[in-house]
Structure 1
């Protein structure tokens, strides 16, 4: 059977795209490997009516919403390859299934690559986060650390300062601040420590101390980290999709890539890493797919 669209990735972008496509009477399949980027996150914030919801519960409710549409199927499968065949695509999964579709939406997301610091994974998602808009409220007015090894450190520090005035910035042995930036941070009473970090220590996922390789220690109650991001899937690269300067998939206003019939949405395009933003982009790209299908058939 030739499907109208296959959506790859069951995060908020893929889920909302599926909803819009299903309601437009399109025959679609959502293929979800179910390995979300926010698996370590206890709560998601900033989504009106769902503030503080567990990501797994959000996903359960979303899939429940999709169950009412008989023209939509949700399958727990990992896509391993996509081939273009004339004006459509063959999508292959790791369990040997193949799907034939006119359009494909890549909502495969990103992976966080944390700095190589002992103990960092123990606290990530509980007291150490990447997005102050998502988790700043929970850490407001506490003694926080900002850990960053890249030139994004200044931007992240400025943002975090909105939620707490008690900040220390650790660059883990890298010298990334200019003299002017250090002076500005000093004027704001923000301390910069460029020594290498030996480990992060705490209890039950809650950060208590930062230990440095020179033997010094610093008490902190949580913080934010600038991690590197990479595509969670190589499908876009294999298809030949253009990438933007941040290594996200390059798209137009409605999610179209440079490959005709391939669309992208959500974190995979390096949009703002927020639940509500990804969901809205899923809705928008699905509208683009529906519009393109209608124009082709009219």
Structure 2
């Protein structure tokens, strides 16, 4: 299942196809649903758009107007879902076992699935892409058209440059003061970093912050080819060689680095999932969507 799912990601640019495949049978929302029951009041009608649920169509109005309309409802509590994508150069690192798959493509798939779940649940959701020292920001909105905007933006992303600095990131993550769900996908090779500081700050503001830390199998195992030299894509002029004599040191340093990442996230009550990009994305999503600890 893992190889089949990851191979699908690697060999299609159709995010909607991937979403349908990954979410089949997942049956989970990003939080407890609020669409039915007390506190939900009718707000307005709007024209039906592809992706709307048929149960929300007003069939009586269809009989009168000969057009499909959807009933919108106001909720007594609003939760915005924010998708944060690290698209710095290191996210272009490819899988060594699945051709065409890299960390950015896997992260893009995870966040696209979260967007689809939020849209299905009726929540507002927005996107922040961090690349080349800048933040590309798509404000939060609801509905199938917003999902198409998010998917289109995700399809256009390429991994480049470095993360924005602290001032750029602080101004770029323009979140509301009301509690939000924040899903951030990164390899967290830079730690501490402006991104880590921003996530901790957002958690201290009482947002529910969740981080997906992505790796390739080769990165976790240290199973790189010892022949070629490797250039650091985010540091000009930095070139490294990887051989059997360096593997033990690499693995020890890597374990210490990500141990510090996990400890810092736990200390700030940020829910973290760690995943190889060769894993089935549905399994990672189940972990990412589970309820956190202290909130």
Classify the TM-score, shorter chain: 0.3 to 0.5
Which protein has the bigger strand share? 1
Which protein has the bigger helix share? 2
